[in-house]
């Protein structure tokens, strides 16, 4: 913080300071006495850093400090001060407005913006979206006064300050109480448990990483790394960046006339080695691009590290605030023109455009953007940028709109992020929301430099700034800095893990689950206790019990809407009378007497055609925004549903003077857009948010009641799930076994050695051949797994994609294999003796060729006999040639050998089909079970789908069996019958898929 303990004689600045003022501030740490002279050196890390260090040092000696601009009308800071002032007592609106305007930064504050901030703090925007947010101030619009509450005081004490929470993770000892420091979020992202790092002069070892803190223990310094912290990186001001470009131009001119090294050494800025290093660096750049960029020249470098991976590097010395605008302009233009994802990055001296998947060449890049529409393009693009979302989060936190934790503690970063996503989603519905206005102002005025961007583009269009384009095989030396930054940004990107990916819409909350009841009837059977608990916490009647003052009662009416007058008893009834005398509330006499806040008189007048004695003073009812009857009724019913669920049509008819036809229309509309849900279970409507919470609680209660069982019960469950139906015929038992084990690849000899015999009474090989020849089941080989040891899976015929036409160009085939395969493709199928006759190949050699095609997954047979022959091939080799030839001839000539045909692959499984197949086989899913299957899906992917299915009532989550890591999901019907699973002893082969030990559990 610039507070030096002790005496500092000399400063060593590692790397060039970001600005002249920063360099002077850091140099000033040395000689912190009136009579002392501050001394120090800048130690550059790279060649580009050396050039910038030389420039910054020169500017420091010339005292060219950047001009500072005072921000004006910052609405987030205004909100914070209003809350603080309201905590001191009651203020009249005009007095508070006059006080605020006495500050220089707010001397030009418009009264309309001031009132918007009051409305935001009073919760108007949130309440209009049926969000029961606590008001940060209590605003009496009738008497034009504002006052704080206990909640206001808590916010003012815990959330005051202008420095935003930038993602610092607190570091605690293993006692979870002793705090030793904090780390940058990105450093934590790169760290793992067991890593060592230094905080000050003390080494620490990471023992735990929570979502909002790091746990450490003391350790040795060997192998400990220094952590890093990142700032905002807004960028160098335009004037200073142009000065750097002029510095480069002057240096190049001196290099050309041979005076640079002498001048640099004489200036005391560099030693001879440093000057020579700069000279070589700039000459290397000139060799790469032909010319060197400066304040009057922009160099556009087209380079490609590999095919379909094009990069455009624009060397432009205009500073980060201008280059950031240029990067957005180029990205918007290229997204439209190229049709592929354009990713951009920028520094003070360059703009990087990364085009992944675009094969055509680009040229004349500046012709894509114009100085005439900079503001419009930026206004359209800005809300979609990560900078806008980040700035909004900072502003929302400073404006005290993010709430607090218990005891008034600061919110953890992960909570801030979740709340900011919801807050931004709601705020963007109102173009005049103070936080949207402030975020746009901060981005357009403080972060981006629009006037100078327009100036640069005009200079380029009019030829005052030259643009030189160059194609290079490798990135030039000047490009190293921005390429390194690009790699860092890609590392931390979560939205698009690769610049070639398409852009996904930002979603939050329950919408990401894609719940089944959005289009269909609710699938979850709610528990009464879950509904009762959620309704109690979210119901208006429960909240009314918490009201402790007339002002809070008035806020209650603004949040929860009209309330029957007989709901107010005792002290509440007295406060209602008091508020009515002050014209802060109004009473609607019919169908039942209801009390509303006076601010909503316009809303209810439009809906019920009732004239109120008091005017509507709601900030949300401004001129030009009058309610239509349908809009007003929809708003009232939507809010009623939010705070009075569950409800039925009769309750609405008894409470409001709306006709049955109007109500039916509004209910249908709210059902269609997902606002309300009709429950067949209760024969009532639920607000979707209430139903969601009740469903979640129902699932959680069910999980809490589950008691983990012994692995022995899992063994019994799997045996029962995979055992064939005993009451059926042997052939149906076999078909049922194939259905339960469909798609499971096992060693080919396992099926007849122990899998089928364990499941079918009196199993014999002819049973399998008979079912194969019927066409009901087929086998498929897992190709490429060895000549003698190969895996095989069984499928029902309907699971095969017979229309698939697979190319064999990538599979190596001998000439004879190609001939046999082509023959089968033309005929469709053929017996072995037919193939022998058509090809002229001896039976023994033909079987070897067919075996090769089988192992490559290209050919199958409608009988299992050929595979038995291949599996017992070693026994045939022991026979003498005469016996072997006779035996093969006998097999080939027999019909039991079956017909050969091309192998069509199984149909690809969707995620839901894969889960269904596992459910049939195991009755449940876990990480271990997913790993047993040949699945195209990873466990994290399956887990996300299982969560959706759980919410739709298709799966149950819990810890059902000990010995399985992590969470488990089970079919509801299996869970309901779990107690009925018989515990018994069974004899199974260790490799049997129904045997869990060593495969699913230890």
Q: Which of 513, 539, 524, 529 is nearest to 691 (CA)?
A: 524
Is pLDDT at 252 greater than 50 in this prediction? yes
The pLDDT value given to residue 79: 95
Confirm whether 505 is domain-assigned: no
Cβ atoms within 10 Å of 127's Cβ, excluding its own: 23
Q: How confident is the model at residue 615 (pLDDT cuts 50, 70, 90)?
A: low
Query: Does a structural domain hold residue 251?
Result: no
pLDDT of 148 strictly over 50: yes
Helix, coil or strand: residue 236: coil
* Per-residue model confidence as pLDDT tens digits over 8-23: 888 898 888 888 888 8
Pair (807, 865) in one structural domain = yes
Specify whether 849 is located in the same domain as 928: no
**Would residue 132 count as lying in a domain?**
yes
**Reported confidence tier of residue 648, pLDDT bands at 50, 70, 90:** very high
335 shares a domain with 214? no
Q: Which of 611-615, 621-625, 725-729 is predicted with the least confidence, judged by mean pLDDT?
A: 621-625
- C-alpha 176/C-alpha 208 separation (Å) is 11
- Name the band, by pLDDT with cuts 50, 70 and 90, for residue 503: very low
Mean pLDDT, range 576-597, rounded to an integer: 91
* Domain count for the chain: 7
Q: What is the domain range of residue 836?
A: 727-908
What pLDDT, on the 0 to 100 scale, is given for residue 730? 85
User: What percent of the chain has pLDDT above 70?
Assistant: 86
| Of 231-235, 485-489, 499-503, the least confident | 499-503
Q: Are strands 350-356 and 297-306 parallel, antiparallel or unpaired?
A: unpaired
- Check whether residue 759 and residue 692 sit in a common domain: no
Determine the pLDDT at residue 594: 93
Model pLDDT, residue 563: 93
Q: Alpha-carbon distance 757 to 737, whole Å?
A: 11
- Alpha-carbon distance 322 to 704, whole Å? 56
Last-in-domain residue among 885, 908, 931:
908
Q: What is the pLDDT of residue 359?
A: 56
Average pLDDT over residues 554-563: 92
| 3-class secondary-structure state, position 347 | coil
Mean pLDDT of 257-284: 90
* DSSP strands (E only) in 602-709: 676-679, 684-687
Same domain, 947 and 986: yes
Q: Any bridge partners for residue 171, and if so which?
A: 181, 214
Does position 517 have pLDDT exceeding 60, yes or no? no
**Tokens linked to 102:** 């006495």
Quote the pLDDT of residue 514.
40
Residue 196 in any domain: the answer is yes
Instruction: Over range 701-708, report the average pLDDT.
Output: 75
Is the pTM here over 0.95, yes or no?
Answer: no
Domain boundary, last residue among 849, 879, 908: 908
**Cβ neighbours of residue 339 closer than 8 Å, sequence gap 6 or more:** none
Same domain? For 849 and 936 the reply is no
630-645 tens-digit pLDDT: 999 999 999 999 999 9
Round to whole Å and give the CA distance between 1000 and 992. 12
Q: Could you tell me the CA-to-CA distances from 971 to 204, 284, 695, 956, 967 in Å, in that order?
A: 46, 67, 17, 6, 14
Q: What integer is the mean pLDDT of 907-927?
A: 90
HSE (side-chain half, CA atoms, 13 Å) at 716: 16
Kindly report, residue by residue over 730-745, the tens digit of the pLDDT: 888 899 999 999 999 9
Any domain includes 66: no
Percent residues over pLDDT 90 in the chain: 31
**Stretch 689-696: mean pLDDT:** 88
Phi, psi of 351 (to 5 degrees): -125, 130
CATH number for the domain that contains residue 113: 1.10.10
176 within domain boundaries = yes
User: Residue 522 in contact with residue 951, Cβ under 8 Å?
Assistant: no
State mean pLDDT over 342-351: 87
User: What is the average per-residue pLDDT within 181-202?
Assistant: 77
- Looking at 893, 908, 923, the residue that finishes a domain is 908
- pLDDT value of residue 914: 92
Report pLDDT for 790: 84
CA distance 349 to 482: 9
User: What is the separation, in whole angstroms, between the first and last Cα of the chain?
Assistant: 55
In whole numbers, what is the pLDDT of the chain averaged over residues?
83
CB 632 within 8 A of CB 607: yes
> What pLDDT is attached to residue 406?
57
Asked whether residue 839 falls in the same domain as residue 788, the answer is: yes
Residue 418 lies in a domain: no
pLDDT at 504: 31
Does residue 920 share a domain with residue 974?
Answer: yes
**Residue 816: predicted pLDDT:** 87
Query: Does residue 722 lie within any of the structural domains?
Result: no
**Per-residue model confidence as pLDDT tens digits over 969-983:** 999 888 888 877 777
Residue 769 and residue 668 share a domain? no
Q: Are residue 630 and residue 772 in the same domain, yes or no?
A: no
> 740: closest CA among 797, 779, 795?
795
Contacts of 826 (CB under 8 A, 6+ apart): none
> Do 595 and 488 reside in the same domain of the chain?
no
pLDDT-based confidence at residue 165 (cuts at 50, 70, 90): low
Task: Give per-residue pLDDT as tens, 78-115.
Answer: 999 999 999 999 999 999 999 999 999 999 999 999 99
Q: What is the pLDDT of residue 226?
A: 72
Residue 81 sits at φ, ψ, to 5 deg, of -70, -35
770 plus 887 within the same structural domain: yes
Whether 708 shows a pLDDT value over 70: the answer reads yes
SS3 for 540-561 is: HHHHHCCCCCHHHHHHHHHHHC
Higher pLDDT, 147 or 948: 147
Which of 2-6, 39-43, 270-274, 959-963 bottoms out in mean pLDDT, i.e. has the lowest?
2-6
């Amino acid at each position: 913080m610039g507070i030096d303990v002790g005496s500092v004689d000399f400063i060593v600045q590692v790397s060039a300071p970001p600005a002249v003022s920063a360099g002077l501030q850091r140099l000033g740490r040395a000689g912190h006495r009136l009579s002392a002279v501050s001394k120090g050196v800048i130690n550059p890390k790279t060649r580009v850093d050396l050039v910038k260090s030389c420039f910054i040092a020169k500017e420091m000696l010339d005292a060219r400090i950047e001009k500072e601009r005072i921000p004006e009308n910052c609405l987030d800071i205004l909100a914070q001060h209003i809350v603080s002032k309201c905590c001191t007592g009651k203020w009249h609106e005009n007095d508070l407005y006059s006080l605020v305007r006495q500050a220089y930064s707010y001397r030009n504050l418009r009264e309309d913006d001031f009132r918007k901030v009051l409305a935001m703090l009073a919760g108007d925007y949130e309440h209009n979206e049926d969000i029961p947010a606590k008001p940060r101030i209590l605003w009496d619009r009738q008497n034009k006064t504002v006052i704080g509450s206990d909640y206001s005081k808590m916010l003012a004490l815990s959330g005051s300050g202008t420095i935003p929470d930038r993602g610092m993770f607190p570091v605690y000892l293993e006692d979870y109480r002793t705090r030793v420091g904090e780390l940058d979020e990105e450093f934590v992202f790169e760290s793992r448990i067991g890593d060592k790092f230094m905080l000050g002069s003390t080494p620490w070892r990471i023992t735990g990483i929570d979502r909002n803190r790091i746990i450490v223990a003391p350790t040795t310094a060997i192998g400990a790394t220094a952590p890093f912290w990142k700032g905002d990186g807004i960028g160098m001001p335009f004037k200073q960046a142009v000065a750097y470009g002029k510095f480069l131009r002057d240096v190049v001119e001196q290099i050309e006339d041979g005076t640079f090294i002498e001048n640099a050494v004489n200036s005391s800025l560099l030693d001879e080695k440093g000057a020579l290093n700069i000279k070589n660096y700039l000459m290397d750049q000139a060799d790469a691009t032909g010319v060197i960029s400066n304040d009057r020249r922009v160099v556009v470098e087209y380079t490609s590290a590999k095919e379909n991976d094009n990069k455009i590097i624009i060397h432009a010395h205009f500073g980060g605030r201008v280059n950031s605008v240029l990067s957005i302009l180029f990205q918007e233009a290229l997204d439209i023109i190229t049709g592929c994802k354009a990713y951009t990055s920028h520094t003070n001296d360059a703009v990087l455009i990364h085009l992944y998947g675009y094969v055509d060449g680009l040229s004349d890049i500046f012709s894509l953007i114009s100085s005439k529409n900079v503001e419009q393009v930026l206004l359209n693009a800005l809300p979609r940028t990560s900078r806008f979302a980040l700035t909004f989060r900072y502003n929302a936190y400073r404006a005290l709109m993010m709430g607090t934790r218990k005891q008034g503690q600061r919110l953890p970063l992960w909570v801030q992020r979740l709340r900011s996503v919801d807050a931004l989603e709601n705020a963007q519905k109102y173009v005049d929301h103070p936080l949207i206005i402030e975020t746009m102002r901060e981005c357009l005025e403080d972060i981006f430099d629009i006037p100078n961007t327009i100036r640069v583009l005009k200079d380029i269009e009019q030829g005052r700034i030259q643009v030189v384009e160059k194609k290079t095989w490798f990135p030039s030396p000047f490009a190293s800095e921005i390429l390194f930054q690009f790699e860092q940004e890609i590392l931390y990107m979560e939205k698009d893990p690769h610049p070639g990916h398409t852009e996904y819409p930002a979603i939050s909350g329950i919408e990401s689950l894609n719940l089944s009841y959005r289009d269909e009837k609710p699938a979850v059977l709610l528990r009464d206790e879950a509904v009762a608990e959620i309704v109690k916490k979210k119901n208006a009647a429960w909240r009314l019990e918490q009201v402790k003052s007339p002002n809070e009662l008035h806020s209650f009416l603004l949040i929860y809407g009209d309330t029957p007058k007989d709901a107010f008893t005792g002290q509440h009834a007295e406060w209602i009378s008091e508020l009515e005398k002050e014209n802060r509330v109004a009473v609607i006499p019919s169908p039942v007497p209801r009390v509303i806040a006076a601010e909503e008189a316009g809303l209810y007048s439009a809906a019920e055609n009732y004239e109120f004695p008091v005017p509507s003073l709601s900030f949300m009812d401004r001129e030009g925004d009058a309610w239509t009857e349908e809009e007003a009724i929809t708003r009232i019913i939507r809010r009623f549903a939010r705070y009075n669920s569950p409800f039925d049509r009769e309750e609405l008819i008894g409470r409001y003077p709306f006709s049955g036809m109007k109500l039916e229309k509004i209910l249908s509309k709210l059902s269609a857009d997902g606002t309300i849900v009709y429950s067949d279970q209760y024969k009532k409507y639920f607000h979707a948010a209430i139903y969601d919470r009740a469903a979640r609680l129902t699932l959680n209660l069910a999980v809490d009641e589950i008691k983990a069982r012994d692995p022995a019960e899992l063994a019994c469950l799997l045996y029962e799930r995979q055992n064939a139906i005993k009451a059926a015929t042997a052939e149906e038992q076999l078909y049922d076994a194939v259905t339960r084990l469909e798609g499971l690849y096992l060693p080919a000899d396992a099926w007849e050695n122990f899998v089928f015999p364990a499941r079918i009474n009196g199993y014999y090989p002819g049973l399998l051949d008979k079912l194969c020849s019927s066409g009901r089941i087929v086998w498929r080989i897992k190709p490429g797994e060895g000549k003698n040891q190969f895996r095989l899976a069984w499928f029902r015929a309907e699971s095969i994609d017979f229309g698939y036409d697979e190319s064999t160009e990538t599979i190596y085939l001998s000439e004879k294999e190609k001939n046999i395969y082509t023959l089968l493709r033309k005929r469709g199928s053929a017996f072995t003796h037919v193939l022998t006759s058509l090809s002229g190949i001896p039976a023994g050699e033909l079987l070897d060729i067919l075996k090769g095609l089988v192992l490559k997954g290209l050919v199958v047979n409608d009988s299992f006999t050929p595979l038995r022959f291949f599996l017992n091939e070693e026994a045939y080799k022991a026979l003498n040639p005469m016996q072997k030839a006779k035996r093969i001839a006998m097999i080939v000539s027999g019909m039991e050998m079956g017909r050969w045909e091309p192998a069509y692959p199984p149909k690809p499984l969707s995620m839901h089909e894969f889960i269904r197949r596992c459910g049939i086989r195991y009755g449940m899913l876990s990480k271990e079970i997913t790993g047993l299957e040949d699945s195209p899906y990873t466990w994290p992917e399956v887990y996300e789908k299982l969560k959706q299915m759980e919410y739709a009532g298709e799966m149950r989550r819990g810890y059902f069996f000990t010995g399985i890591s992590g969470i488990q999901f089970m079919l509801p019907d299996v869970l309901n019958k779990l107690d009925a699973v018989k515990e018994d002893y069974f004899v199974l082969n260790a490799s049997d898929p129904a045997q869990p030990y060593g495969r699913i559990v230890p």
